[in-house]
Amino acid sequence: MVKKRLVFTLLHDGEDFVLSRNFRLQKVGNLEWLRKNYRFENTARSIDELIILNVNRDPTSISTFAEVLKAVTHGCFVPVSAGGGVRSTEDAALLLRSGADKIVLNTILHTDMDTVKNISLKFGQQCIVASVDVLTSGNGDFRSYYQNGVTPSVKTVIELLVDLQNGPIGELYLNAIHRDGTGQGYDINLLDLLPKGFNKPVILAGGVGNSEHFHKGLMDGRVDAVATAHLFNFVGDGLARARENLKKNGHVFPQWDYAQGIDSKRQGG
């Protein structure tokens, strides 16, 4: 059976970690708060990947974010993807030096594909996670946005996804702005926007409120991983319990050798 992934996403803004609801941000605590409530040496045993996103709108914030990235990823042995504010190969290199294994790109997918190609050439296509934020008006009309959900793309979602299918990216982080932080579950309709034969792994995000939402997402064959960014829904042992529930429902995840920080390649983790 194909292994799927359970992904936890952290959002960082300036000095604080934040919650997002439809891309409106609410500060919840700084790094010390996070360490107290989420010991990632333990949390990492319940997830397959950690994504950390810099949602600060200050273009100079990436150096500050890199320091936060170093602190959060210390002792965390699952793969880490990081992004937000990446505008150059130098920005990507900084995050990779600071603890990231992969780079999440969003705005420059719309504004500067040449830099995306340069990052891919320098660090490898598998290193790039393309983040696509999608909003619907509720009548079946979908539109992608960038710059933290502020600016609408000149391309349709389908056009953008076709470009990404043929482009230098490793996987897709597909996020529903209209479900973000609501706890109402994923918008599975987003997957119908994928081009036929889409050949990149898909991480589905936006709307998780409980482990049943993870299950519904993973039941769709087009989904390779499910993500949540809602800190409070999975505080304490919430992620561990969610993972166990998913395994009981037949989902298979990687199993990690925590002593060495590598995938032990055994089934049933």
Q: At 73, is the secondary structure helix, strand, or coil? A: helix
- 58 among known catalytic residues: no
Please, which residues have CB within 8 angstroms of residue 114's CB and are 6 or more apart in sequence?
Answer: none
Catalytic residue among 133, 180, 187, 224: 133
CA distance 110 to 66: 23
What long-range pairs does 242-250 form, CB within 8 A, spacing at least 24?
Answer: 242/6, 242/46, 242/210, 242/211, 242/214, 243/6, 243/46, 243/47, 245/211, 245/215, 246/6, 246/211, 246/214, 246/215, 246/218, 249/215, 250/1
CA distance 218 to 210: 13
- Residues noted as catalytic: 133
